[in-house]
Structure 1
Amino acid sequence: MTTMVNDPRTLHQRLVEQPRCTGLALAPDGTRLILSVQALDDEGVRYVPELWEVDPAGERDPRRVPGSRQGDFAPAFAADGTLLFLSDRETGEADEGPGPSLWSLPDSGEAAWTAHHPGGTTAFTAAARSDTLACTAALLPGAADARAHAGLLGRRRRAGVNAVLYEVTVDSGAELGPAEPHTFVLGRDASPVDAGGQGLEGAGDMALAPDGSLVAYTRAPTGAAPDTNTVVIADATTGAQRVTLSRPGHLYYSPVFTADGTRLICERQQEETYDSEWQVTLVAIDPLSGEETDLLPDFDNWPWPGRAICSPVPGDTTLWFTGDEQGHRPVFRREPDGTVTRLTASGAYSSLCATPDGSTLYALRSTLDSAPQAVRLDAAKADQDPTPLRTPGDLGPLPGTLTEVHTTGDDGFALRGWLVLPEGAAAEHPAPLLVLAHGGPQGSWSDWPWLWNPWPFAARGYAVLLPDPALSSGYGQRMQERGRGEYGGRPYDDVLALTDAALARADLDPTRTALAGWSYGGYLANRTATRTDRFRALVSHAGLWNLESFQGATDMHAYFRKIFGDPRIHRERYDADSPHLDATRLNTPMLIVHGGADSRVPEAQSRELQHDLRRQHVPAGFLYFPDESHGIEAPNHLCLLYETVLNFLDHHVLGEQWRRPELL
């Protein structure tokens, strides 16, 4: 195992303890750059948010924001340069109840309590050129405003009631509780008791026009049309709706107004069905007429464009966005005439910010061999390398190198994946191989992962293949077409094709291999368990096993029902792709990992797999985290995940004695 000199910790321990950079906020004058960081608390048992200040010039070391505390999060700037954030700090008002409040922090001085909503505020945004704020917070059914909501919360608490009556289908993104999200608008001098604003209808993402006159938000899907939501543009003072826009089979996300307020830019997503591919684009909506324009009609990189940022210069319709492309997530610039230019040569970018003149961008950049850090970019230069800024945290040297693997699918389509090679891998000492399948299936191995990071395995001597099979993003619309309706077909074949290409290398050992995956990757691990015995061990984390019971229980029921169909009518789709139907073929040792609070892939999927493995007398373990959801969030749990999986692989792939983790 490779470790840092004089550092007794394993790499996965250092990985878990590493501060995580999660977001950026730039002051209106471009002089302050605030970084959101997730760091271990004093006991080392959970991650807590912190606010750090990064020097935009890259000359000074980063520092904790003066006046901030652990627990402050979601930074943004008001038009006058005041730093705003959410926090669970004590407000001094006993009757306000728990939950995050909105706080403000000037350049010098103490933080001031700005607004509170009973039960807490979940998100907020500030107008670019006015003192108007918009917040997302919840109201219980029957509560007309924040004061009535507080009364109902108190009555439920005193009665010891946490029951919920659902009158519509609980679907993806819904909180499993009775309250519904609303958007509230308030001025900076509004009363913090009732959030000072007009409650609008149930809302998700939101944006304010720069002058604060309009608010836009997305209304959640209804039970009647779970694959369709609505964009609402309303008067920010009265809440009166001016424009409502929806499109059957489409969802809108991440609204943002242009600098002059004449257009609203949104992501528009057409979700996958059995007969059509997943498609994502950016659209512009006229806030007066509601007319919608596709901004990327001919962009076939299929980059799954993220939240756009608009030029801060009024009248300039330039915008920037990120999107997957060939194992990277570049920054793209769209000119007013529709021309799209890729600005970055490599890496995965997020959290874009533009300077007031639109000449410079700041972003977080990561790769599969470097954790996220703040960087500076020229806002117009093509295929550039960024200027790194001094950022908190340093994992230290990694135990190996990163390269690529290329091959073709059975249809001639060009396939690629990343390959992590451990130190010392050579023809004389070939390394064992772990194939690690990503989730999604729409997604790509492009940025630094905290969950299922390849480097702890490289530190133990494993090479790690990170394949992008059919249905992965960043390879054009054809990559979606070739995987449509074949959850366990062509994607599985592509993973094996890339595995064969990797094992053609002399420095990898084809007799010592394993495959692991999380979510959809866990499904591919389960599919592999019933299709081949070429691997010595398999790990399935939150994987789908019985597609019929899964699509009836997941929080994304409507989405998966569109893909798989009614099992009473489209039996052939389940027969083709549900691994549980081939349970008698199980014979490879498996480790199952699942969280008890997982609503995306309910834990019953793994329970059923475990029962089938036992019936087939296959060696199997079940690593169960009762309080975790679809991922693993707690640092100690994440450390146990890596330790258990590594010991399982060492036992079955390398033939070493099984070592049960001490805390298990």
Structure 2
Amino acid sequence: MGRGRRRRARRGMGQRRRGRSRQPVGRVRVRDRNRVRGLRHHPDRMTTMVNGPRPFHDRLVAQPRPTGLALAPDGTRLILSVQALDDEGTRYMSELWEVDPAGDRAPRRVPGSRQGDSAPAFAADGTLLFLADRESGECDEEPGPSLWSLTDGDAAERIAHHPGGTTAFTAAARADALACTAALLPGAKDLRTHADLLRRRRRAGVNAANRTATRTDRFRALVSHAGLWNLESFQGATDMHAYFRKIFGDPRSRRERYEADSPHLDAARLTTPMLIVHGGQDSRVPESQSRELHHDLRRQNVPTGFLYFPDESHGVEAPNHLRLLYETVLGFLDHHVLGEEWRRPELL
């Protein structure tokens, strides 16, 4: 290749590289062109390029870890999602802040916003929308982000919820329409079938080991950790009675569901050796559930063991307790499944 052709080739490559580096990713325009002509938010979500007056520029880039920008249809409000350390200083939480596009007012936290609010956007009528995993006072099938709105009175209102959470949304610029994205369980054709499948999965999960013990003898041993045994007594003792009433129904009006699903009614079928694990501080599934199961197993002369942690809650967290838990579980299974001699764990 001649010298002239190589020089032209190098010049062309440099021009293409420079052209790519200046391409903005996302652009928000403000109507007052004399003050702010453009905002560029880069894909690293840490950089915002502003072409505008210095007060506005300084106040915008001073916000910590910006993760989103939303400009009101009339150009008078600019909302951004920023991240800051939580009260314990262990993780970053997002919240909504407002920056004056004219640069006249200092940035402020959006009234009514809380830690965890994210993904701000404006509807065509100027309503501020965002995603948040807040308590709405309703009993949801499963926690997860929902679509919320903030009115002029600083009152947040949930306007859309999907079991399992909403992952993203977009608002039409000139119409009263929203589009949301959310995951569906395999086999679900719509939100109704998804909610039904989710309810079945939840009901099967909390009952799995104990229900299996009364339905089959195919297993040589089972381990039950903070499982449900007597659904009716559990409903009155758990700290989430409204949540589980949504799953199982009210025992006073839906007796048939409790009679069909409560394992303790089939205690006479217990034949499989079981190791029971429970924490004394568990308010989600009170320890009385495991004590009832342990009593029924002994009444049926079924080999059983009860590993009790007085200081643990619904899960086991202390390192020595975790070690003891796994040593006991493995030893119990080795004894009943593999036929090995039972060895008492050193920490027990």
- What range describes the TM-score normalised by the shorter chain of this pair? 0.5 to 0.7
Instruction: Confirm or deny: 8 A CA contact 1:596 1:629 kept in the other structure.
Output: yes
Structure 2 CA distance for partners of 1:531 and 1:588, relative to 1, 3 Å: same
Tell me, yes or no, if structure 1 residue 258 matches structure 2 residue 84: no
Tell me the alpha carbon deviations over residues 492-549 of structure 1, each in whole angstroms, 9 at most, x when there is no partner: xxxxxxxxxxxxxxxxxxxxxxxxxxxx44x210011111101111111000100111
Tell me, yes or no, if structure 1 residue 305 matches structure 2 residue 169: no
Q: Pairwise CA RMSD of aligned residues?
A: 4.5
Tell me, yes or no, if structure 1 residue 216 matches structure 2 residue 200: no
Tell me the alpha carbon deviations over residues 576-631 of structure 1, each in whole angstroms, 9 at most, x when there is no partner: 11111111111100011111000000011001110111001111111111111011
- 1:271 aligned partner, one-letter code: C
Instruction: Confirm or deny: 8 A CA contact 1:28 1:79 kept in the other structure.
Output: no
- 2:63 aligned partner, one-letter code: A
Q: Distance in 1 between the 2:283 and 2:218 partners?
A: 32
Tell me, yes or no, if structure 1 residue 647 matches structure 2 residue 319: no
Q: Which of the pair has the greater relative contact order for Cα pairs under 8 Å at 6+ separation? A: 1
Q: Distance in 2 between the 1:211 and 1:336 partners?
A: 24
Tell me the alpha carbon deviations over residues 235-289 of structure 1, each in whole angstroms, 9 at most, x when there is no partner: xxxxxxxxxxxxxxxxxx95347278951423477636xxxx7696732414227
Q: Distance in 2 between the 1:126 and 1:648 partners?
A: 48
Structure 2 CA distance for partners of 1:635 and 1:566, relative to 1, 3 Å: same
Q: Following superposition of structure 1 onto structure 2, how do residues 5-24 of structure 1 map, counting pairs within 5 Å? A: none
Q: Distance in 1 between the 2:95 and 2:180 partners?
A: 29
Which has more radius of gyration? 2
1:481 corresponds to: 196
- Give the TM-score taking structure 2 as reference length: 0.59
- 2:325 aligned partner, one-letter code: L
Gapped regions of structure 2 (runs ≥ 5): 1-43, 49-60, 66-82, 100-105, 173-177
- State how many pairs are aligned: 258
- 1:211 aligned partner, one-letter code: R
Tell me, yes or no, if structure 1 residue 287 matches structure 2 residue 184: no
Structure 2 CA distance for partners of 1:475 and 1:639, relative to 1, 3 Å: farther
Q: Distance in 2 between the 1:476 and 1:654 partners?
A: 45
Kindly state the Cα deviation for residue 482 of structure 1 after the two structures are TM-superposed. 5.0
Instruction: Confirm or deny: 8 A CA contact 2:142 2:164 kept in the other structure.
Output: no
Instruction: Confirm or deny: 8 A CA contact 2:93 2:116 kept in the other structure.
Output: no
Q: Distance in 2 between the 1:80 and 1:281 partners?
A: 23
1:543 corresponds to: 227
Q: Distance in 2 between the 1:663 and 1:655 partners?
A: 22
2:284 corresponds to: 600
Structure 2 CA distance for partners of 1:78 and 1:663, relative to 1, 3 Å: farther
Q: Distance in 2 between the 1:474 and 1:612 partners?
A: 42
- 2:320 aligned partner, one-letter code: N
Structure 2 CA distance for partners of 1:558 and 1:305, relative to 1, 3 Å: closer
Greater per-residue helix proportion: 2
SS at match of 1:544: coil
Tell me, yes or no, if structure 1 residue 557 matches structure 2 residue 250: no
Q: Distance in 2 between the 1:661 and 1:279 partners?
A: 38
Structure 2 CA distance for partners of 1:213 and 1:541, relative to 1, 3 Å: closer
SS at match of 1:258: strand
Tell me, yes or no, if structure 1 residue 79 matches structure 2 residue 63: yes
- 2:260 aligned partner, one-letter code: A
Kindly state the Cα deviation for residue 27 of structure 1 after the two structures are TM-superposed. 8.8
- 1:624 aligned partner, one-letter code: Y
Instruction: Confirm or deny: 8 A CA contact 1:647 1:659 kept in the other structure.
Output: yes
Q: Following superposition of structure 1 onto structure 2, how do residues 39-58 of structure 1 map, counting pairs within 5 Å? A: none
SS at match of 2:165: coil
SS at match of 1:215: coil
Q: Distance in 1 between the 2:160 and 2:198 partners?
A: 26
Structure 2 CA distance for partners of 1:570 and 1:476, relative to 1, 3 Å: closer
Structure 2 CA distance for partners of 1:557 and 1:263, relative to 1, 3 Å: same
Tell me, yes or no, if structure 1 residue 636 matches structure 2 residue 324: no
> Could you tell me which of 133, 139, 150 is aligned with 1:271?
139
- 1:544 aligned partner, one-letter code: L
- 2:108 aligned partner, one-letter code: D
Q: Following superposition of structure 1 onto structure 2, how do residues 336-415 of structure 1 map, counting pairs within 5 Å? A: 336-337=171-172
- 1:255 aligned partner, one-letter code: D
1:576 corresponds to: 260
Percent pairwise identity: 54
Q: Distance in 1 between the 2:190 and 2:129 partners?
A: 28
